[in-house]
Amino acid sequence: VYVLGIETSCDETAAAVVKNGKKILSNVVASQMESHRRFGGVVPEIASRHHVEQITLVIEEAMRQSGVSFADLDAVAVTAGPGLVGALLVGVNAAKALAFAHGLPLIGVHHIAGHIYANQLVAEMKFPLLALVVSGGHTELVYMEGHETFAVIGETRDDAAGEAYDKVARALGLPYPGGPHIDRLAHEGEPVIDLPRAWLEEGSYDFSFSGLKSAVLNALHNAKQRGEEIDVRQMAASFQESVVDVLVTKTVQAAKEYRVRQVLLAGGVAANHGLRAALQDKMKKELPNVELIIPPLSLCTDNAAMIAAAGTVLYQQGKRADLALNANPSLPLV
Ligand code: ATP
Ligand code: MG
Ligand code: FE
């Protein structure tokens, strides 16, 4: 089964061809990061325009690199939501045009399902499993009893983990997106600054990062007023430790309670070295019989191979969209 995946939910224009939902034949990503950097975040209008400029080139390049022709394809899968509506529409319309022109089935994919299925490109998914989804817009613990069945057992009540990273990075004067910069600096500093951890109610798998973010902003503000310098590396290390501690503790706790066979890491923040190491470490100690899958960095951030992988499962389940498929900026996972 050959599936072309298309992803344009935010600021990367991406297309990929995946075989049997597991083998990447091509995975092309055109990032717009440079265009958004001077605004300190993604500007929706600029994102849409870049997608329009790039989409045809990116799809052609993905097809060329894969060595697969349109006649060999079995389906076209596209991110239908959630994301920026003007950005999503570019991918959805490109996918519809290709599906119509080549007589191919069209599959609408949820962006977060895509992030989770990035793991299927690394190893076979075994159920029941628990996925920790940590990205720019989402922080969720998702329990899966089988393919394409998602139960959200915990989620953020305010900021997403990636959002907190980007806001704190901005306050520290680091370029957008700040996650990778904090990650790098955290390894050069010691976590000596005392910052809060939001554990919430006993037994809750929900998250909250806005208090932590405010604590960092206050500490920076107070230091400035006193005319003191805050060591950016120490602050990065302290912030990262606080985020990672809560994410890893709750994930391992949930994995025990739900008796899962696998734990998967998904989303852009899954690229974080501190998170990857801490989760690996704690699982080895406390859940040595549970398999941990962590995708390579290029499959953690937005890409279309993950959309093709998730789309292949839907295709095999007989799920199809039609040409009325629309972009839904707040598409629910369940
Ligand atoms: P969503 O997937 O929720 O719709 P998104 O697609 O914008 O949001 P992703 O592309 O999955 O998000 O992830 C981007 C986020 O990942 C940004 O917030 C970025 O700072 C963060 N990020 C990337 N690399 C790292 C890292 N090494 N450490 C921490 N955060 C990181
Ligand atoms: Mg992005
Ligand atoms: Fe994403």
Residue 206 CA to residue 157 CA, distance in Å, equals 7
Q: How far is the CA of 301 from the centre of ligand 2 (A)?
A: 7
Nearest CA to ligand 1 atom 11: 268
CA–CA separation, 5 and 289 (whole Å):
34
Q: What is the ipTM of this complex?
A: 0.97
Ligand 1 contact, 269 CB (< 6 A): yes
Minimum CA distance residue for ligand 1 atom 2: 135
Give dist(CA 89, CA 308) in Å, integer. 18
What pLDDT shows up at residue 33? 84
Q: Is the CB of 240 under 6 A from ligand 1?
A: no
Mutate to test the pocket of ligand 1, among 7, 10, 12, 276 (most ligand atoms within 8 A of CB): 10
**Is 36 near ligand 1, meaning CB less than 6 Å away?**
no
* pLDDT at residue 111, as a whole number: 98
What is residue 104's predicted lDDT score, i.e. its pLDDT?
Answer: 98
Q: Please list the residues that pair with 27 across neighbouring strands.
A: 16
**At how many degrees (to 10) do helices 161-171 and 232-257 cross?**
170
Which atom of ligand 1 sits closest to the CA of residue 177? Answer: 20
Q: Are 48 and 30 in contact (CB under 8 A)?
A: no
The pLDDT score that the predictor gives to residue 228 is 94
Whole-prediction pTM: 0.96
Nearest Cα residue to 303 out of 259, 250, 267, 251: 267
Nearest CA to 283 out of 259, 260, 263 is that of 263
Q: Please list the rounded mean pLDDT of every run of 10 residues in the chain (334 residues).
A: 98 97 98 86 92 97 98 98 98 98 98 98 98 97 98 98 97 94 98 96 96 97 94 98 98 98 97 98 98 97 98 98 97 94
Q: Which two tokens stand for residue 66?
A: 């894969």
**Which residue, by CA, sits nearest to atom 3 of ligand 1?**
137
Give pLDDT, residue 318.
98
pLDDT of 305: 98
Nearest ligand 1 atom to alpha carbon 300: 11
User: Which of 41, 42, 14 shows the shortest CA–CA distance to 28?
Assistant: 14
Q: Are 113 and 308 in contact (CB under 8 A)?
A: no
Nearest to 98 by CA among 26, 167, 190, 3: 3
Give residue 34's pLDDT.
Answer: 85
**What pLDDT shows up at residue 252?**
98
